[in-house]
Each structure stands twice: as C-alpha cells, then as structure tokens.
A and B are shown apart, each in its own frame.
Chain A
C-alpha cells in the first residue's frame, strides 16, 4: 500500500505546480456549510435547492462527522426543473415539508445547479404560501464560489437578512456571538465561558443539543437545541456582535451592522490561550464585566500544563491544514507551545488567510510555507520535500500520515474515522488543555513506538 498519492513515488522531491487540477481537496462546497449552520436554529429543517444528490452527500458527510441523524430536504431537481427553473419544485417542497415535517423554519440553501439556472430565491420564496407563524429563510450558496466555510458564513448572513429586526431606540444588553464552523462542544464551551463572564448573549447558530443530542430512545426530528427564531429576530437589538473567526462569522456580523446598526467585533476563533484571552478581554471591554476568578484559574492551569510539557513540543515541525479560522488560531497556539508551523494550508480561497498566517509567523520569527486555495497533494509534496514531525488536520490527513508514517492529530471538519470529537471542545482554556493532551500524546506515543524497550523511559 505504498503509492497512495499520485505518482509521488519515484518523484520524491519534486513539487509540481498545477493551475487547473485539484488533487485531494482541502475543502468542500458551500451548501454543506449552510446546512450545518441551519441545523443551529431550533426546529429548523435545512433545505437544499437543487438535485437530490447534493442533499444526500451533505447529510451523509455530516452524519459521519457527528454520528447523529442529520435530516434535510431537497427540491429534487429533474431535467425539467433545470430547464424551466426550480420554482415549482420549491413550492411543492415547502408545501410537503410544512404538512408532514412541520418545522418552525425552513432554511433554503441553493446549489451550483439552481444558481446557474438563475433561480431568484427572493421572488420564489415571496410567492410561497407560508403557514401562519412559520418562516422560510434562504442563502445563496453556489458551490463554485468559496468553500463550505463561505456557505456557513452565507447562511449566517441569511439568518440576519431574513430575520434580524431592530426596534426603534431599543438596545438590549445582549451580545451576539457568532461561533463559526465549530463543533457543538465548542459552542457549548463558548456559552459556558460567556456565562461565567456574566454576559447575556445570543449565540447563533447554535448546533449544541441538535447534532449532539442525548439518547432518549426516541427519535426527535427537531431536538431541543438551537437558537430560536425569536432570539434571532432580537439580534438586531443587541449591544454588539462578536464574530469568532473572520471567514465563517464576519459576514453575518457586518450584515447585522448594515441592517440594524449593531457594532461588529471580529476576533479569532478562541483556540489557545492568546485567542481565548482576546475573546474574554473583548467581552469585558464591551460589558464592563471583569474576568471571574474561575476563568483565571482555568487559564492558570493551561499555562501550568504548558510549562510542564513545553520540552515535548519545542522545535517540533508541524503541518496544519483545514478550515481557515481554525487553522489561523491553531498556528498561533502551536507557536505558543514552541512548535514550528512549517506548513499552513487551507482549501478555502482567500488572500487574507495567507496574510494573517504570514504575519503570525513573522511575529514569532518562524519561517513556514502558507497557502490558501490549496489542496492536500500540495501539502503532501511539501512534506515529501522536507518532512514534519506531526500533522494537525481533519481525517483526510490520514492518507498523508499513513504514507509518510506521521502522527495525525484530528482537528476540524470532517472527522470521519474517530468518534467523540464533537462532544469535547477545542476552544477556550479547557479546549487548550485538550489540544495539549492530544498533541503531546501523539508525539509521545510515537516516541514510545520508535524507541527500543531498553531505551524507553518510564517517566517522560
């Protein structure tokens, strides 16, 4: 099982420039991100406006990652729809959905097909008889622009667009928080630390409770979790919006500023001490609340653990790939551990990514290769050219990890070959502790494996 990668064998150190061909993508398409975001609304049925394959793939992929039932509907385009437009399909779908599945909200995302034939979602949806008290929101998510992260951002923007309202001269003390494309456990953790800060908040979307719902012996099509429509409407009256992760969350925050004058603050996804500090400081600055002792203790514990383990990490070369917001914060975090992010890569397009990561590396005085709009063959070629000690990224990294015999720490989306990850956070101080454990165990397991028994130390 040697030559998994494309003809890389026998061409070990050659890096091939490609202009048109993508090999082993480090991203996927917009609608799946939109579907995930939509699941973060209470009693919402995500709807894919296109052929039914898309919907099936998105459900399949999300099901594999979360290991929970992911239900979504589709307009089931046929040849007719793709010639004459998908209006009647969406109308029929909405009628059927409200009659049988009875959600509070249908969140429609478009596909490359419906976008290309030019379905005008606004006018189609305006023309649908929506039952009293029910809502249809939508987002334009053509697969040929951006990535699944862009799709997530667009659906969040759609929530603002379709739902957020501002009452005249009325501002609550609530802070809107857009968590970005992270696991439900991360959303829980963000809520937990925000609560500890005594800050009233609206987190949207919020997939906790939805894609990590408890076992009750019953199948709930719409589990308890998620932000409610009422809460979403109210986001227009909030004091400020904190967008965690510029790629997945900034658009929604800016849209809310445009529509309802809510001040946006764009921060990093709070992975690692520095980014978590920044989140808490920002909350404190906006609300005047102090960081409580309990969070100070958590922070102190992380730093204590970092001291205890720093020599495991120092100088270790690491390759990080995946979604831009996660990767940016991870880069900053591994630097704080003394590691060298030799290769930092995302499939999502955007020069801002390269700029931001390069500036993080520069500040740390570390040299590394950085690329957006990249694929995993590129990463593989880089690693062939000059190896790393460890890989951090999603499940697809295993192809490289296996072939190059590298430890892989699974972080990000999708993780298809491991479980439990969606129940444990990587954000906040607790998340940092978990990441340290994962990375150092991967390195130490590796050292144990590679060391002769007589040379192995009992205490590392």
Chain B
C-alpha cells in the first residue's frame, strides 16, 4: 500500500485510508487537530459566522480584537434581494485596556451606537476567543440592550478555542433558535411531536430550506424549482433571509437540509421543539438534485408533484444536455481530487465527477463524520485515498501519487494545486457563479472543462512522483 511510503506523523496515519473493495472505511475522524500538523481547519467563530452572516438585515457585531471581524468581512458571496447591512463589518475592536478591565462596557457602548446612530433592529453579538477568556457576560449585556432599546440582540457563543467549526455551526443554530423564540408561534400538538406524522392541510405546503447561503444566487434557483413543483419556501436559512423570515421558520411543514454539516443540529432541534420533520437533500449535481426532489415529493405523497418534477427535470435537462455532453467529451477519463469542508459536499462531488465521466482518486474533508466516510468509501473506486483533516503535505503527496488532473477545494488549496500543475475548481466561498441544481451542474462542468483543458498546463512541467 502506497501510504506506507508516505512520511507523516504516527498520529495522522489513522486519518488516512485506502479504499479496498468490499471493505468498510477504516478512518479516524471527528478528532481535534494535532498541534503543529498544519490543519486546513478553522475555528468555532468561523463556523458561527459563516452560517449567520448571510442574514441580510442583521448587524453582526464581533466582540473581540479586530482580526476576527476583518477576516470575515463579507466572507461569503451571499446575495441579497433586500437589505445589504450584512456586508459591513462591525467590531468592538478591543484594545489592551479592555482586555485588562473587561470589554463589557465597550460592548454596551457599541450596541448603543449601533442603535442610536444606525437604527439597528437586529444585532448578533459574537463572543470571540479572548472574550471567552476574560469572561465578559455577553448574554447579560444582550438582555439589557434588548430591554433598553426594545430590539433583538442575540448572543453567539463562539469563542474560537471551544471546539472546531462544527461547534460554531451549533452556536449559530442556537442563535437562530433564539431568534425564532422572539415570536410566538401556534402551539404544536404533542401528537405531532411524537410521531412526526404531520398532516398537510394547506393547498401549498410550506418548507424551510436549511443550509443554503445563496452563494451566487443559488437559493433563488432552488426556490424556483420548489415553486414549480408546488411548494412554497417559508424561509431559507440563511441565504437571502432576514430576521422576520427566520422568526417564521416554525410555521413550516418540512425542513429540507442542504448543508448537513451546518444545519442538522438546528433541524433536529426544530423537530423536537416544533415537530417539523426534516430530511437531508442535496442539490449538488444532477443526480442528487433529481433524487432530492423525488424524496420531497415522496414525503408529501403527492403524485401531482411527482409529475411536475418529471416535467421540470425533462425541461431543465433539455436546456443543458447538449453543452453538458460537449464538456463530458472533453473530460472523459480525467482524475479528480476533492478536499472540502464537510462530508456531504464531498459525497455529492464524487457523484458529480462520475457523471462527467471522471474518477475521484483522492477525497478528503475537514469535518466529515464516520457515516460520511462510509458513504464515500462505498462510492469511490478501489485504491482511492480517503483523508480526514489533511494538511498540504499529504494533499501534495497523494495528488502526485494519484496523478490527478483537478482538485476541487477552497481558498487555501487553490495555489497548492496550481503549483503542482493541477487544475482547480473552487467549491467554496470564492465562487461567483452558482454550482447547484441543473444550472449549477452545467456551470460546474464548464468550469472543470475550462480549468482542466486550459492551455496553461502546456507550459508547466509537471513533476510526478
């Protein structure tokens, strides 16, 4: 097995696995990163911020020294159909004396400035690392401000060291639940809570779309699909949403979860508290898009909806098939590597590469769980390398060993791929075009085709192992 040749930390070896036919994936995951191992992961605050940031009318006030606020300023390419407040960066910019004497006073003053000077109505206050250590009581300050100004101020407990990005997703989920609490909702019967057998009495069922951040307008594409099959999106979390919409979340009949990593916690809580059932879906790639739509129709046991889906799929497919075929011809037999944040995206990407006639030879995630890795293991071909919490060295080694043609990943992986003479597809925040559903599938195919078949690689002497 090639892995043996590879020089890595003893503790890391269990996080690297090789697909062997008919065998389960044997991989360590969901562990803290090793100090000094050069992880590509981020922190609790980043997890919370990426989830909440797309809420368009909220003032995201970062309580801490300036860095946390400045690195996450407009971090996602989330589009808005209304307010643009979320595109600003607000911070208490803690200085040395605040660290010594406590930052509560400054936070208090910053909130009052937001309210008095900019008429803020909804504020999220993020506690960062240093605030967690000096022990500012942000909950108390938020409560006090709510009473004083009669607005909504929600604390987000996001001290960076208290876990990883996943803990941040949870903190964001909690903040969203608190926001929903600000409104009284129709009580839901115990019966519904118990068996989840919700009866849909409405002519148009309402669903919430969880875990879509409206990058490059993706939420709008999905909303359009759902409306074409007779569903109304009650609220989208959190892409192109505002606080009023989020407060209405409990009024939906079903939650569909796109980014499972960030939203399953919330979906579970919504099920428990409001009796709203949820299902994981994915609109990444045609295969997942189609099966997700049918899964939703199945939930509502609605034949008309199934008919509408068939029509929609046919129409959408007709629109892209010719161009898609052209891309596939250019891509047949190429090899891909994947290194993304969550397991769900990795799984969809494997399928998507397969649909383009490509094979995935290396796949890793920052925060995938055991279940994700089992699914990944089932999907990939014999010999594929599977990595958890990888570092640039490992990525480099296995990309060269597998002689991949493209890497799909995020910001930090891009120049690594390029330096190796490998094409790259951004499947993260940086992208400027939608990659979801049929429209996105075509964009993806085009992007992969363009980068793999760029003339630039002719000028690169690619060094193989």
Contacts and interface: CB of A to CB of B under 8 A. Distances in A.
Which of B7, B65, B459 has the most chain A CB atoms inside 10 A of its CB?
A: B65
Interface in B93-133: 93-96, 98-99, 106-107, 109-110, 113-114, 117-119, 129-130, 132-133
A59 B69 contact: no
Given A7-B119, A60-B411, A396-B73, A21 B9 contact: no
A53 interface: yes
A220 B70 CA distance: 30
Interface in A24-66: 24-25, 27-29, 31-32, 47, 50-54, 56-61, 63-64
A407 to B, nearest CB: 21
Interface stretch (B33-41, B176-184, B327-335, B442-450): B33-41
Nearest to A68: B415
Given A1-B84, A6-B118, A76-B34, 15 more contacts: A18-B117, A21-B109, A23-B91, A27-B70, A29-B67, A31-B67, A51-B161, A53-B46, A69-B415, A81-B161, A82-B129, A113-B129, A218-B419, A219-B416, A219-B420
Interface string A81-107: 110000001101111110111000000
Interface in B127-172: 129-130, 132-134, 160-164
A356 B146 CA distance: 44
A57 B66 contact: no
A225 to B, nearest CB: 15
B161 A82 contact: yes
Given A56-B40, A116-B134, A96 B9 contact: yes
Nearest to A53: B43
Contacts of A221: 392-393
B463 A143 contact: no
Given A99-B9, A112-B130, A74 B110 contact: no
Nearest to B39: A52
Interface in B441-465: 459-463
Contacts of A52: 33, 39, 41-43, 160, 164
B303 interface: no
Interface string B403-442: 0000000011011101111000000000000000000000
A57 B46 contact: yes
Q: Which 3 A-B pairs have the closest CB atoms?
A: A53-B43, A29-B67, A93-B36
A62 to B, nearest CB: 10
A307 interface: no
B88 interface: yes
B50 to A, nearest CB: 11
B113 A18 contact: yes
Contacts of A399: 87
A234 interface: no
Contacts of A74: 33, 35-36, 38-39
Contacts of B87: 4, 399
Nearest to B64: A112
Contacts of A57: 42, 46, 67-68, 71-72
Interface centre among A59, A77, A113 (most CB of B within 10 A): A113
Interface in B44-92: 44-46, 61, 64-73, 83-85, 87-92
B351 to A, nearest CB: 28
Contacts of B412: 56, 59-60, 63, 69-70
Nearest to B42: A56
A116 B73 contact: no
Contact of A111 (B117, B129, B162): B129
A222 to B, nearest CB: 12
B8 interface: yes
- The residue among B36, B66, B83 with the most chain A CB atoms within 10 A of its own CB is B36
Interface of A: 1-7, 16, 18-25, 27-29, 31-32, 47, 50-54, 56-61, 63-64, 67-79, 81-82, 89-90, 92-97, 99-101, 111-113, 116-117, 142-145, 147, 213, 215-221, 347, 377, 396, 399
Nearest to B421: A217
Nearest to B47: A53
Nearest to B395: A219
A26 to B, nearest CB: 9
Contacts of B461: 216-217
Contacts of A63: 411-412, 414-415
B44 to A, nearest CB: 7
Contacts of B96: 142, 144-145
16 contacts: A20-B92, A21-B114, A51-B44, A53-B160, A63-B414, A69-B412, A77-B161, A82-B161, A96-B9, A111-B129, A112-B94, A145-B95, A147-B66, A215-B421, A216-B461, A221-B393
Nearest to A106: B36
B377 to A, nearest CB: 26
A226 to B, nearest CB: 17
B91 A25 contact: yes
Contacts of B251: none
Nearest to A30: B67
Nearest to A26: B70
B32 interface: yes
Contact of B420 (A70, A92, A218, A377): A218
Given A22-B92, A93-B35, A113 B130 contact: yes
A381 B94 CA distance: 23
Contacts of A79: 161-163
A97 to B, nearest CB: 4
Nearest to A77: B161
Contacts of A89: 35
Given A56-B42, A60-B412, A96-B35, A82 B69 contact: no
Contacts of A19: 109, 113
Nearest to A81: B161
Nearest to A99: B9
